[in-house]
Amino acid sequence: MDLFEKCRGFFSDPAVAHAMGYPASPHEVQEMGLYPFFIPLDNAEGTEATIGGRRLIMIGSNNYLGLTTHPKVREAAIAAIREFGPSCTGSRFLNGTLALHEELEERLARFVGMEKALVFSTGYQTNLGTLSALVGRGDVIIGDRENHASLVDGARLAFGRLLRFRHNDMSDLERILRSVPATAGKLVVVDGVFSMSGEVAPLPELAALCHKYGARLMVDDAHGLGTMGQGHGTVAHFGLTDKVDLIMGTFSKSFASIGGFIAGEKSTIHWIKHTARPLIFSASLPAPNVAAVLAALDVMEAEPQRVDRVNAIAARMRRGYRELGFDVGKSETPIVPIFIGDQMKTMQLWKGLFDAGVYTNVALSPAVPADASLLRTSYMATHTDAQMERVLEVFARQGEKYGLI
């Protein structure tokens, strides 16, 4: 069989698309005007986006604190590109480490309450590098079934075994921990805030079980940093900094940049720094991105009210959606899912909202189970009350139009 045959069939053959879990082929969905992916934005200026000359309210961004438009963050990036240029042209291991990287690592370690931090070029690489560096043959990674794809792929890259427990189910986690040989190295890995549902991991129970069974605990706090624990993350929210072994974060959400980091005790970070292939064999994070994160940290520390504001907006929207009759699940964070359960209706609602000037994100199979398809909405500290009122009005009208409320 021609290796590329599946590629040709995927776009236009419904059977291939159905076999992969999609409700229709991309071509069919495009013909229906319902294709929700790879939409080119002319501009994404904070709380609004411009698409084809039309302005939409953006409730599909991870820009939780609204810092991509903050003058201090933008000016820091511009100044860094003038001083250092657009690239380091080498890996951290060789010629790609700047004093700026080390300054950021020191700041991040203090910010999350850990001994040491290590900056990677993307959040995805951070998880690939950390898990593959730490977990070897005979070791076990135990992860929540709703963990981010980068954690799943990091476990695949590692030479250890991956076991998965039911989402936020501590009895299932304990069952697995009990079954793992005492001689095996064990790493439990969870999202602090789950990126689709907006749910928070039960970290106190997780930490207690890890202590009981001699497992290490790593928290991917990509969506918790900037939104939980006065901005310091989910671990700080629960007061568990001394009970969690590794905290991972990304810069593409609250920090208004791109990149990621892992933080923990000094010896562990030193090991990862010298053995993580995604770090050693990738170009380092460019100076403008590093400078933007440093400036974002300054703003986060100087303006903690942004954290309160984004959570107040999210609470208002959860309440508003529930009053309309939508199912928002167990969200406690600025990520508020709208569960629809039918993939075609989910795309229809997305299109209705899009045409009415509201930008959301669609989550379909295989990203989520087919019967759990949803619209993922997320909020910024810079959203206005008038914008949120408008969003609820549009949701009410479109929800009635498609018989969803």
DSSP 327: B
Closest CA relative to residue 390, chosen from 349, 359, 362: 359
Q: Are strands 335-339 and 374-378 parallel, antiparallel or unpaired?
A: antiparallel
Q: Going from the N-terminus, what domains does the chain have, and what CATH number goes with each?
A: 10-64+304-401 (3.90.1150.10), 69-302 (3.40.640.10)
Binning pLDDT at 50, 70 and 90, where does residue 365 land?
confident
The token pair that represents 206 in the structure block: 């997780």
For residue 233, pLDDT over 80 is answered with: yes
User: Does position 162 have pLDDT exceeding 90, yes or no?
Assistant: yes
**Axis crossing angle, helix 71-84 with helix 287-302, rounded to the nearest 10:** 150
Residues 6+ apart with CB under 8 A from 39: 51
pLDDT at 354: 97
Distance of CA 132 to the CA centre of its chain: 20
Q: What are the CA-CA distances from residue 144 to residues 151, 169, 192, 201, 368 (Å)? A: 10, 8, 11, 9, 14
**pLDDT at 11 (0 to 100):** 74
Give the pair of three-digit tokens for residue 70: 């903050």
CA distance 114 to 273: 16
Please say if 232 is a catalytic residue: no
**Could you read off the pLDDT of 137-161 as tens digits, one per residue?**
999 999 999 999 999 999 999 999 9
Token digits of residue 111: 């910010």
Residue 8 pLDDT grade (very low, low, confident, very high; cuts 50, 70, 90): confident
Give the DSSP per-residue string, 170-237.
Answer: HHHHHHHHHHS-TTS-EEEEEESB-TTT--B--HHHHHHHHHHHT-EEEEE-TTTTTTSGGGT-HHHH
Centre a 10 Å sphere on the Cβ of residue 388 and count the other Cβ atoms it contains: 19
Let me know if 223 is a catalytic residue: yes
Pick the catalytic residue: 121, 132, 150, 195? Answer: 195
Arithmetic mean of pLDDT over the chain: 95
Q: Catalytic residue at 253?
A: yes
CB 160 within 8 A of CB 181: no
Instruction: State the catalytic residue, choosing from 253, 273, 351, 383.
Output: 253
Instruction: Write the DSSP string, 60-121.
Output: S---TT-GGG-HHHHHHHHHHHHHH-S---SBTTTT---HHHHHHHHHHHHHHT-SEEEEES
Count of residues making up the chain: 405
Among 353, 310, 402, which residue's Cα sits nearest to residue 51? 353
The residue annotated as part of the active site, out of 70, 223, 237, 273, is 223
pLDDT of residue 328: 97
- The residues, ordered by sequence, that sit 6+ positions from 98 with a Cβ below 8 Å of its Cβ are 84, 88, 284, 287, 290
The string of pLDDT tens digits covering residues 128-139 is 999 999 999 999
Q: Is the pLDDT of residue 52 over 80?
A: yes
Pairing of strands 260-264, 116-120: antiparallel
How would you class 303 by CB atoms within 10 Å of its CB: exposed for 0-12, middle for 13-18, buried for 19 or more?
A: middle
Q: Which residues sit opposite 116 in a β-bridge? A: 264
Name residue 51's beta-bridge partners.
Answer: 54
Averaged pLDDT, 51-64: 96
DSSP state of 285: P
Angle between helices 99-112 and 287-302 (to 10 degrees): 30
